[in-house]
Amino acid sequence: MNFVRPQLFELEKAMVATNRPPLLQVVVGPRQVGKSTAAEQLVARLGWPHLMESADAALQPPPEWIETQWRRAQLLSNRDGKRTLLVLDEVQKVRGWSEVVKRLWDEERRQKGLVRPLLLGSSALMMQRGLTESLAGRFLLHRFSHWSWKECHDAFGWSLEQWIYFGGYPGAAPFIDDEKGWKRYVTDSLIETVLARDVLQLQTVNKPALLRQLFALAATRPAQIVSYTKMLGQLTDAGNTTTLAHYLDLLETAFLASGLEAYSKGRLRRRASSPKLILWNNALINASSSQSFEQAQNDGSWWGRLVENAVGAKLLSDLQGSPWSINYWREGDAEVDFVVSRGAATWAVEVKSGRGGKTPGIAEFRANYPKAKTWIIGTGGIPLNEFFGQPAEQWFA
């Protein structure tokens, strides 16, 4: 594919910068969103000697694997006398990867070496843990999210409705004319691979079947607030709420599903008893749904859930990490779909995908938090194509 994501230009700029000390370049994001493709495009644009290797194997490579690739890259740089790009894909699969990288990178800097590493990873938890524990001050982080509607429109000519249903996996795009084939591809090649390799292989999961059940439950309840008590009643061998909350966290680290907590300003934050379930890509929902694209569009209630989930997924993807916080709010019968916070600033976000009308949740929220700003997305507010066509940060400047 010749399509270029904007993150590629950020990577290239960081790699060729000469007005500051070199840093490790780290790319984190879901599987199948173009991280490896961007690395290949970067190789072509830089024209440097390069080495690309992947640790994504059934058996985890030992720490010596990283050192072997690093020494190979050093041989290339010594031979050509040029900066050499070393791309290590799924580096979090290597035991103790961050300690090895720290040692080799510090050695490279002391010797004024020419190896410039690019580290790719699809597990947010494992990458972040290694970066904060061992590599503080040595890296620049680049986030690759699921493809936006604008990217799918520009690359494949998709309508907004197609993107809301089929999600943002570019590898699945050729299958959308065969919906059964598309569902099988997403289920087998994407969902199962992520669960097996990015969650179960890297984490201690005592009940793998329960984790899979929890993901399946979330996929049938997009953008819905579901209490842990209700989940316990619907899942086999569910254990307790602590286990379910932990497994939801694991699904989030693999960019699959999140359980948003209730918003509560001015009080000690604690895990909400009823998380709001958001899938990070609508393809994860519809791949297991019995409804076709046409049927989903004609089901107003279900389509509204898909639109609301797509809004939540965009907020999570575009507003990751500090200083952002994404929650929901509910008090009695009043509810606000999403609450976006950045420092002292707060926005209440209501999603309207069909009928217009009053937004009692917004009114109640403003009564409790008078300084909060509000956004209505959809009918009577920001048009959906306008909201999805821009980075989310633009709306919360």
Domain ranges within the chain, ordered by starting residue: 7-143, 149-396
Give the separation between CA 37 and CA 48, rounded to whole angstroms: 17
Q: What's the half-sphere exposure (Cβ side, CA atoms, 13 Å) at 92?
A: 24
Residues 197 and 56 sit within 8 Å (Cβ to Cβ) = yes
Give backbone dihedrals phi and psi of 30, rounded to 5 degrees, phi first: -60, 165
Distances (CA, A) of 48 to 116, 126, 133, 164, 386: 10, 29, 31, 39, 39
Q: Which two tokens stand for residue 20?
A: 């500051």
Distances (CA, A) of 110 to 21, 69, 113, 347: 12, 19, 8, 47
**Which has the closest alpha carbon to 310: 164, 200, 190, 173?**
164
Q: Which two tokens stand for residue 231?
A: 């989940």
Would you state the pLDDT for residue 358? 59
Q: What's the half-sphere exposure (Cβ side, CA atoms, 13 Å) at 286?
A: 32
Q: How does pLDDT run along the chain (397 residues), one tens digit per residue? A: 589 999 999 999 999 998 888 999 999 999 999 999 999 999 999 999 999 999 998 788 999 999 999 999 999 999 989 999 999 999 999 989 999 999 999 999 999 999 999 999 988 777 888 888 889 899 999 999 999 999 999 999 999 999 999 998 999 999 999 999 999 999 999 999 999 888 887 778 889 999 999 999 999 999 999 999 999 999 888 778 999 999 999 999 999 999 999 998 755 445 557 999 999 999 999 999 999 999 999 999 999 999 999 999 999 999 988 889 999 999 999 999 999 999 999 999 999 987 555 567 999 999 999 999 999 999 989 999 999 999 999 999 8
Residues paired with 279 in a beta bridge = 257
Q: What's the half-sphere exposure (Cβ side, CA atoms, 13 Å) at 215?
A: 28
Give backbone dihedrals phi and psi of 249, rounded to 5 degrees, phi first: -60, -40
Residues 336 and 349 sit within 8 Å (Cβ to Cβ) = yes
> Tokens 């720290």 belong to which residue?
102
Give the separation between CA 282 and CA 167, rounded to whole angstroms: 5
Tell me the fold of 7-143: Rossmann fold (3.40.50)
**Which has the closest alpha carbon to 35: 121, 140, 136?**
121
Distance of CA 227 to the CA centre of its chain: 24
Give the separation between CA 205 and CA 194, rounded to whole angstroms: 14
Q: What is the DSSP string of 13-63?
A: HHHH--SS---EEEEE--TTSSHHHHHHHHHHHH---EEEEE--SSSPPPT
Helices (DSSP H) in the chain: which residue ranges?
7-16, 35-46, 64-80, 97-110, 124-134, 149-156, 160-166, 179-185, 192-193, 208-220, 228-234, 241-253, 283-286, 293-298, 300-318, 360-368, 384-388
Would you state the pLDDT for residue 230? 93
Would you state the pLDDT for residue 70? 97
Would you state the pLDDT for residue 268? 41
Would you state the pLDDT for residue 201? 77
Residues 6+ apart with CB under 8 A from 169: 32, 33, 146, 147, 186, 190, 281, 283
Q: What is the dihedral of CA 35, 36, 39, 45, to 10 degrees?
A: -100
Give the separation between CA 9 and CA 6, rounded to whole angstroms: 6
Residues 6+ apart with CB under 8 A from 228: 241, 244, 245, 273, 274, 275
**Which has the closest alpha carbon to 224: 300, 277, 165?**
277
